[in-house]
Amino acid sequence: MSFSLTAEESAIAAGDDGAAIAMRIVAEAARLMGAPRLIPIRSAHIDGALYHGDSGTLFAERLVEGGARVAVRSTLNVGALDLTGCSRVRLGGREREMARRMMDAYRRLGCEPTWTCAPYQAGHRPAFGTDVAWGESNAVVFCNSVLGARTNRYGDFLDIACAISGRAPDYGLHRPENRAATAVFDVSGLPAEFLASEIAWPVLGSLYGREIGTAVGVVKGVAAHPGEDALKAFGAAAASSGAVGLFHVAGVTPEAPDLETALAGTQPAATIRVTPEMARIARARLSTAEKPDRIDAVAIGSPHLSPAEFDLLERAIAGRRLAVPLYACTGRHVLTELEKTGRRKTLEAAGVVLVADTCVVVTPILPAIEGAVLMTNSGKFAHYAPGNTGYAVIYGSLRECVESAMLGKVMLTESLS
């Protein structure tokens, strides 16, 4: 399939400014992907503003120097610093300087300083059927699956190039024919009580990602809408364990009013019938610590906590004082509301460490402790924390996390049966 640019796109790409750099990056990516053309996008979510090294900062500053500006609404994913001052980031002087320069550069490009991995909770919710270019795996899968907008998983620097050019390659999940489910993930054999619980969705998401991989699947057997926070947790875990970009839930998500529609009238290539034993194994797999006699910290909020999740956290704490710190990662839009209502002081007095603009898995916030153990209710945290933080992980429900933090040792009480 041959690739071509429009006359306008070719003229922009022929320049030597920041916009030209962006257009050439998007065009070359399209050629490599086998796309026939570029398509206009309505918005972007930028994951490339997280500092991983000087080259990323210098690239962003080169775009700024070239006069580039985003052409569409563009929100920013987490950075490497907590600019709100809630938590302390253990970056050295040079790294801290370059991380701040990087975050500043993206703001100068015209991006909104949202600094959240859940922009859909901060008001960035593209309309059903619109084409966008989003980075950050959980945001991508939520955008595609729950909102019904269309995006591929755009990696660092291609995301900002799409935002500046206002274009994306016409391939993958932008094309309707690639959005139909080819596999069924049947949970009808699981107890209704389990499916209605908070713990179910990260566990099932992790299992879904392992079983489905990069394919598009449809979940069968969900009797009622589980809520956006549950779908958020499911998608984040699935995107971490299996690079999932789009899932459907029959009778729940917008492109799956029923199973047949999700499958576009075809027979599935595979059907995975989830048993209680499969769910138990999936939960056990999320824990990497072997019979720990203590926990050193609890971390929740990957993806960032919503206001409703803070309500659940406060109810679980119930006015008590935690024995070990509980790191609660969230967006500054939620932090502002917590401050207005005085809830921030209440949470911090209980031993909660609020983290905004960033997250404990992507930047050094957790104390460096030999043989440390972290407890979490996040399937995404459980997947990435051992490699990124050096902490072994215990997975549990939010209530189990809070009760364990009260005592400083693991308290697992909720069954999958």
pLDDT number for residue 294:
92
- Tell whether 53 and 150 lie within a shared domain: yes
Tell me the mean pLDDT in the region 401-417: 86
Beta bridge partners of 39: 168
Alpha helix stretches (DSSP H) within 143-265: 158-165, 192-195, 200-212, 228-242, 259-262
Apex 318 CA angle, 313 and 320, nearest 5: 110
pLDDT number for residue 121:
97
- Residue 283 has φ and ψ, to the nearest 5°, of -65, -45
One DSSP character per residue, 115-152 reads: --S-GGGTT--PPTT-B-EE-SHHHHHHIIIII--B--
- Residue 328 has φ and ψ, to the nearest 5°, of -115, 105
- Tell whether 112 and 231 lie within a shared domain: no
- Tell whether 317 and 390 lie within a shared domain: yes
Structural domain ending residue among the three candidates 175, 204, 236 = 175
Residue with tokens 């966008």, as numbered in its chain? 132
Domain of 106? 7-175
8 A C-beta contact, residue 167 and residue 147: no
Tell me the mean pLDDT in the region 18-31: 98
Asked if pLDDT for residue 417 goes beyond 60, the answer is no
Structural domain ending residue among the three candidates 224, 249, 284 = 284
Asked if pLDDT for residue 299 goes beyond 90, the answer is yes
pLDDT digits (tens, 9 = 90+) for 230-249: 999 999 999 999 999 999 99
- Tell whether 56 and 113 lie within a shared domain: yes
Asked if pLDDT for residue 14 goes beyond 70, the answer is yes
pLDDT digits (tens, 9 = 90+) for 36-80: 999 999 999 999 999 999 999 999 999 999 999 999 999 999 999
Rounded CA-CA distance 376/394 in Å is 6
The CATH number for 312's domain is: 3.30.499.10
8 A C-beta contact, residue 160 and residue 135: no
8 A C-beta contact, residue 354 and residue 338: yes
Tell me the mean pLDDT in the region 128-136: 98
Rounded CA-CA distance 191/194 in Å is 5
DSSP 400: H
Beta bridge partners of 394: 375
Mean pLDDT value across the chain = 96
Residue with tokens 């769910």, as numbered in its chain? 279
Pairing of strands 352-356, 167-169: unpaired
* 43-46 β-sheet, strand order: 73-76, 43-46, 133-134
What band does 293 get if pLDDT is binned at 50, 70 and 90?
confident
Single-letter code of the amino acid located at 404: S
pLDDT digits (tens, 9 = 90+) for 332-371: 999 999 999 999 999 999 999 999 999 999 999 999 999 9
pLDDT digits (tens, 9 = 90+) for 146-194: 999 999 999 999 999 999 999 999 999 999 999 999 999 999 999 999 9
Residue with tokens 């009013």, as numbered in its chain? 257
- Tell whether 279 and 298 lie within a shared domain: no
pLDDT number for residue 1:
65
Structural domain ending residue among the three candidates 284, 316, 333 = 284
Q: Is 415 inside any structural domain?
A: no
pLDDT number for residue 415:
64
